[in-house]
Amino acid sequence: MRKISCLVSAMLAGAAWATAQSKPNVIVVLADDLGFGDVSAYGSKTISTPNIDRLANEGVCFNNAYATSATSTPSRYALMTGMYPWRNPDAKILPGDAPLIIREDEYTIPKMMQGAGYTTGAIGKWHLGMGKGKINWNETVKPGANQIGFDYSCLIAATHDRVPTVYIENGDVVGLDKNDPIEVNYEQNFPGEPNAIDNPDQVRMKWHHGHNNTIINGIPRIGFMKGGHSARWRDEDMADYFVGKVKDYITAHADTTFFLYYGLHEPHVPRAPHERFAGSTTMGPRGDAIVEADWCVGQLIEHLEKEGILDNTMIIFSSDNGPVLQDGYYDDAVEKVGEHSPTGGLRGGKYSLFDGGTHIPFFIYWKGHITPATSNELVCQMDLLPSLAKLVGGYTPAGLDGIENLEAFMSDAPSKRQDLVIEAKSKVAFRTGPWVMIPPYKGKKTNATGNELGNLKEYALFNIVEDPAQVNNVAAQNPEVLEDLRQRLAAQTDGKIVNGANQK
């Protein structure tokens, strides 16, 4: 009965969405490397995320939601464009000085929302590139978020373990002293600039792998940076800085209809939450960073209530990919994880084709308009663009990989998405019904993070309803299913990235 009532309420609400007055504000909150098991709404007893849980408990909580990719940049590309990232060869993990990988003429969620009469903003982590070619950080950097549909942006260029370690507002570095220009190089260091290998005495967070270049705030980064000292962030203040920008944006647009993309940086490395969160958990900085992320969500909800617009604001919460413990620094994430399972018992994690790489937390909340429900339907972030277009009366171009799935997003109604191509570091797998099929790929089975990559020597077929931990490869017992999935994957990808070019 509950499923029927949810579907009926969604259908009735659909008539109201057609009128301009009923268009809600829409906020997408995207965490960074937050796992399915890192949110207590999914049953974890080892961590508490009450503010995120509120979105889950008072909205639609999805048990079967996916990102397209097990890493940040391709996942965000799919969310923004409604297109599979493996169609774009540049949609891979980017350095901090990479050019924008979304073409200026490409259709995006913010462009769609603008066309539907929304003002648009992007605040927080970006990691989709900025500028063209070699970037001059001392001038307005473009193209960027503002050129693909956002009226306002205040971002970090990539991940906060990469240089440049500065905030960029509408293309301009915040607080930059023109007499101390910024230089960035991902190939070689600048003379006289400290790095973690030659200056270990200046490091307060020891690097594990890869993160041994320029030292900023005592934390060694990926890439080399010189200058811009007045503009450099303090890692512990990043959450407060972006929460402040989010509040300012909401207040400035409380009397309009707005779309806001809010990219959290937690719990990605380096995990340096504000001092007031230190010791919030028994899991060290990673656990404390998750508590900080939950606080950010609480601040968002509280400010919407203060401005009197919470009941006219849809909040979509998710993560860009699965979790990882060891990802470049010695920060006790592995040693102090205890009984906590970041993936919620799923196999793999970030970088992996196994389910833990792309099976992510996902909640949609709209006070007074969505009946609380739990959905087991297959849904994907890539479908948000066409689905939101239906909600707000926006335009959806032909040819998107994303599909309109609004009723499934607004209730526990059946999903229109029947299958999904999953990507991890230029390799793909196929998800449909209870099945996940992973083709054989060359390479190591695990990487430096300790996550299983899914680089198997033979085809694997898992029934993740009966075997969510993907322990039993049942390909030999189900040859017809395996062949069907092989052909369907080849058809969707034109055979270009299966059993061939991407077996690296």
Q: What is the mean pLDDT of residues 131-141?
A: 96
Q: Count Cβ atoms within 10 A of the Cβ of residue 132 and give its class: 0-12 exposed, 13-18 middle, 19 or more buried.
A: exposed
CA atoms within 13 A on the CB side of 422: 35
Using one digit for the tens of pLDDT, what is the confidence trace for 172-222?
Answer: 999 999 999 999 999 999 999 999 999 999 999 999 999 999 999 999 999
pLDDT of residue 22: 73
pLDDT of residue 16: 37
CA distance 483 to 491: 12
Using one digit for the tens of pLDDT, what is the confidence trace for 260-279?
Answer: 999 999 999 999 999 999 99
pLDDT of residue 3: 36
Query: Does an H or E element contain 365, and which?
Result: strand 362-365
Q: What is the mean pLDDT of residues 350-373?
A: 97
Please, which pLDDT band fits residue 133 given cuts at 50, 70 and 90? confident
Please report the domains of the chain, with CATH numbers, ordered by start residue: 2-174+235-410 (3.40.720.10), 183-226 (no CATH), 419-493 (3.30.1120.10)
Please, which pLDDT band fits residue 7 given cuts at 50, 70 and 90? very low
Return the percentage of the chain with pLDDT > 70, whole number. Answer: 94
Please, which pLDDT band fits residue 455 given cuts at 50, 70 and 90? very high
Residue 78 has pLDDT above 90, yes or no: yes
- Mean pLDDT rounded to a whole number for the chain: 94
Q: What is the mean pLDDT of residues 370-387?
A: 98
CA distance 55 to 29: 11
pLDDT of residue 496: 62
Angle between helix axes 284-306 and 238-252 (nearest 10 degrees) is 20
Please, which pLDDT band fits residue 497 given cuts at 50, 70 and 90? low
